[in-house]
Structure 1
Amino acid sequence: METLWFCLVAAMIAAYVVLDGFDLGAGIVHLVAARTDAERRLVLRSIGPFWDGNEVWLLAAGGTLYFAFPALYASSFSGFYLPLMIVLWLLILRGIAIESRGHIDSPTWRPLWDAVFSLSSGLLAIFYGAALGNVVRGVPLDADGWFFEPLWTDFRLGPEPGIIDWYTILVGLLAFAALAAHGALWVALRTDGGLRDRARRIGRLVWWGVAALTAIVTLVTFRVQPSVPARLVAQRWGLVFPLLALAGLMVMRIARGRGADRRAFAGSCVYLAGMLASAAFGVYPCLLPAVTDPAYALTVHNAAAAEHGLRVGLVWWIPGMALAVCYFAFVYRTFAGKARPEGEGY
């Protein structure tokens, strides 16, 4: 039962990254792909019906984590308090930027919020990547399962690392590049004309960075966290996840070259899901590895709620997720197609 809930939490995090990732990526390329006020408004219209709903998956993942693995929730939210507050403020600023941009028709007002939107989106991508890097690398847990990390120390790995070191920065840069490519492909899929052409070019250029950083981060991760390659060797069926990510990366490249925007975006979705699944498989059964002593790690066994509670929770989780999936299917079907400059909003 603990493993099932681990998979469910991982699936919801992957859903959040794939879905909210394209509007984060659209924010990253917002100032580069769109050159006029009308084009920037069109970028916002392409994500307008979706961006706030996509964040539901972040809330759902957090709620499920709190229910299924309360010890992990308590430890991580205490130890990661400072970066969590930064992420919260970035989410707030991003939402304010999207909603406030069109309230005043001013040559300074709109560029200000465009810059806030782009900056907050980029920083969120980097912080999300750094968070994943911390989970894979491990944190300085004590015997009671608690820890605290400063924002940075000496940027080196060791028994007392900071939130930010050279490894987590590297993972953050990969997340930034991957979501920038994801967002560029979304903008290309949802728009026409010069904006679409520039988004395609951005996606083509950023792809090389994603491919290079994927290779570098993979090799470095094998050195930083030896349990990841050891698990892949011990259970070779898990190789399906990195192979899935590689296939998605290649589909992005081939489909974009053929002008198949929908297929290229689907490849990006598969790449992101495959990378996250690879990370989850690599650290399992750990939820939060310990750099102090491997015995201090929080695992699916010592951090999970009681068996009876997990079984009862599953009864309520299934219909709740079914409603969420139906809602998202309806919204994405209703607002399918190209974004248009006509109408109200953004």
Structure 2
Amino acid sequence: MATTWFILLAFMLTMYVVLDGFDLGAGILHLFVTKHDDERRTVLASIGPVWDGNEVWLVASGGLLVFAFPRVYAVAFSGFYLPLMLVLWLLVLRGVAIELRSHHESVLWQHAFDVVFAFSSAVLAFVLGVALGNVLRGVPIDATGFFSAPLFTDFDLRGDLGALDWYTISIGLFAVAALAAHGAMYLRWKATGDLNARATHVAWWCWSAVVGLLVVITIETALVQPTLLAHLASRPALWIAPIATILAFVGVFLSLTRSGRTDDELATHSWERRGFVASALVIASLLVLTAGALWPLVLPSRTAPNYSLDVHNAANDDRGLVIGLVWWIPAIALAITYFVYLFRSFRGKVSPTSAYGSDH
């Protein structure tokens, strides 16, 4: 039953990264793909109806972690108290920037909110990537079962570990590039005209960076945590994930090359939609691969392997997990139904006068 909840946690986190990832990516690119106020309003209009709902997946993932793996929650949240507070402040700043921009007619205030939106989106993507890097690298859990890690030490993997080192920073940079690429695919799907063309151009650069950084962090992970590769080698069922990743990459680049070759707007829009779906599949397959390589570990210990938290020593009791599963199934069915309805209701292109783009 604990393994079932590990899979559910991985599913919830993947949904968060895929869904909130594109509006984080739109925020990262907000100041780079727009040239004037109408285009900035279009970016906000494209994510306005969905961004806050997307963040619910993060809250739900946190709740699931508390319920299913309370020991992991206690150890991780106490060990990374400062980075977690940073995440909360970034979420607040980002939400304020999105909601209040259209309520101020002052160009100065609007530009300030644009900067806050872009900055908080980029730093949040980086911090989330660093968090994943810490999980993959392992944390200094000691004999007491807890750890305390400063923001950084000497950026080395030997000696005292901090949240930031050369490995976790590289994972953070990969996260920024991947979510920016995902956001670019979303913007080209939702926008028209020059904004669409710029988003397509930026998408090429972002995806090129993603491919390069993916090669780098794969090599780094093999050096930093060889256990993960050993897990993959011993689990042939997981080999479908890298195959799916490669096919999804092909879908992304096919979309980028094909969508501009026809004057048929419906065909172009169809290729843009397929490109966004392929982008989501790249992210999802990489996260599935990561979760599969980690299992049964949930939070590895860098100090000693026997101090690691896994699905066996960190999970709630089976009776509680069974009861929780009974309630989780109808809840997730309702959530998925709502999100399908939401995205179908706001499908199609957007304009500066759409919700969140216009002045209220």
| TM-score bracket for this pair, using the shorter chain length | over 0.9
Q: Summarize deviations over 1:39-65 as a string: whole Å, max 9, x none.
A: 000000000000000001001111011
Picking from 255, 278, 290, the partner of 1:279 is: 290
1: CA distance, partners of 2:86 / 2:204: 31
Tell me how far apart the structure 2 counterparts of residues 143 and 342 of structure 1 sit (CA, whole Å).
Answer: 58
Q: What do residues 129-182 of structure 1 show as CA deviations (whole Å, max 9, x unaligned)? A: 000000000000012321111000000112521100000000000000000000
Counterpart in the other structure of 1:27? 27
- Give me the whole-angstrom Cα distance separating, in 2, the residues matched to 1:29 and 1:345: 17
Which residue, 302, 324, 341 being the options, matches 2:352? 341
1:79 and 1:343 map into 2 onto residues whose CA distance is 43
Contact preservation (8 Å) 1:140, 1:159: no
| Superposition deviation, residue 343 in structure 1 | 4.7
- What pairs with 1:94-133 in structure 2 (closer than 5 Å)? 94-133=94-133
Please give the TM-score of this superposition, normalised by the length of structure 2. 0.95
Name whichever of 305-314 and 152-161 sits farther off: 152-161
After TM superposition, list the pairs within 5 Å mapping 1:45-60 onto structure 2: 45-60=45-60
Q: Deviations over 1:97-154 (max 9, x none)?
A: 0011111111211011000000000001100100000000000001232111100000
1:312 aligns with 2:336: no
Gaps spanning 5+ residues in structure 1: where?
Answer: none
Q: How does 1:230-245 map to 2 (within 5 A)?
A: 230-245=230-245
- Once residues 88 and 345 of structure 1 are traced to their aligned partners in structure 2, the CA distance between those partners, rounded to angstroms, is 23
- Structure 1 residues 75-154: aligned runs within 5 Å: 75-154=75-154
Question: What fraction of aligned residue pairs are identical, expressed as a percent?
Answer: 50
Q: How many corresponding residue pairs?
A: 346
Q: What pairs up with 1:160-239 in 2 under 5 angstroms?
A: 160-239=160-239
- 2:45–2:354: 8 Å Cα contact kept in structure 1? no
Q: Counterparts of 1:160 and 1:247 in 2: how far apart (Å)?
A: 40
Query: Residue 207 of structure 1: CA displacement?
Result: 1.0
Which of these residues, 293, 302, 310, is aligned with residue 313 of structure 2? 302
Asked if 1 retains the 8 angstrom alpha-carbon contact of 2:241 and 2:286, the reply is yes
1:129–1:176 Cα contact (<8 Å) kept: yes
Query: Residue 73 of structure 1 aligns with which residue?
Result: 73
CA distance in 1, matches of 2:96, 2:130: 24
Question: Does structure 1 conserve the Cα–Cα contact (< 8 Å) formed by 2:45 and 2:355?
Answer: no
Q: Give 3-state SS (helix, strand or coil) of 2:135's partner.
A: helix
- Cα deviation for residue 258 of structure 1 reads 0.7
Q: Distance in 2 between matches of 1:120 and 1:247?
A: 32
Kindly indicate whether the alpha-carbon contact (under 8 Å) linking 1:14 and 1:273 is maintained by their aligned counterparts in 2.
yes
Contact 1:94 1:117 in 2 (8 A): yes
Which consecutive unaligned segments of at least 5 residues does structure 2 have? 260-270
Aligned counterpart in structure 2 of residue 266 of structure 1, from 277, 291, 297: 277
Contact 2:177–2:210, Cα closer than 8 Å, also in 1: yes
Query: Normalized against structure 1, the TM-score is what?
Result: 0.98
Letter aligned with residue 72 of structure 1: V
Paired residue secondary structure (1:287): strand
Regions of 4+ moved over 3 Å: 343-346
Question: Once the two structures are superposed, what CA deviation does each residue of 1:283-341 show, in whole Å capped at 9, x if it has no partner?
Answer: 11110000100000000000000010000100011111111111101100111111122
Residue 33 of structure 1, CA deviation: 0.6
Letter aligned with residue 303 of structure 1: A
Q: Aligned partners of 1:216, 1:343: CA distance in 2, in Å?
A: 41
Aligned partner letter, 2:28: I
Measure, in 1, the Cα distance between the counterparts of 2:166 and 2:118.
Answer: 24
**What is the distance in 2 between the residues matched to 1:143 and 1:306?**
23
Q: Does 1:288 align with 2:299?
A: yes
Partners of 2:349 and 2:114 lie apart in 1 by: 21
Evaluate the alpha carbon distance shift between residue 49 and residue 72 of structure 1 in structure 2; reply closer, same or farther with a 3 A threshold: same
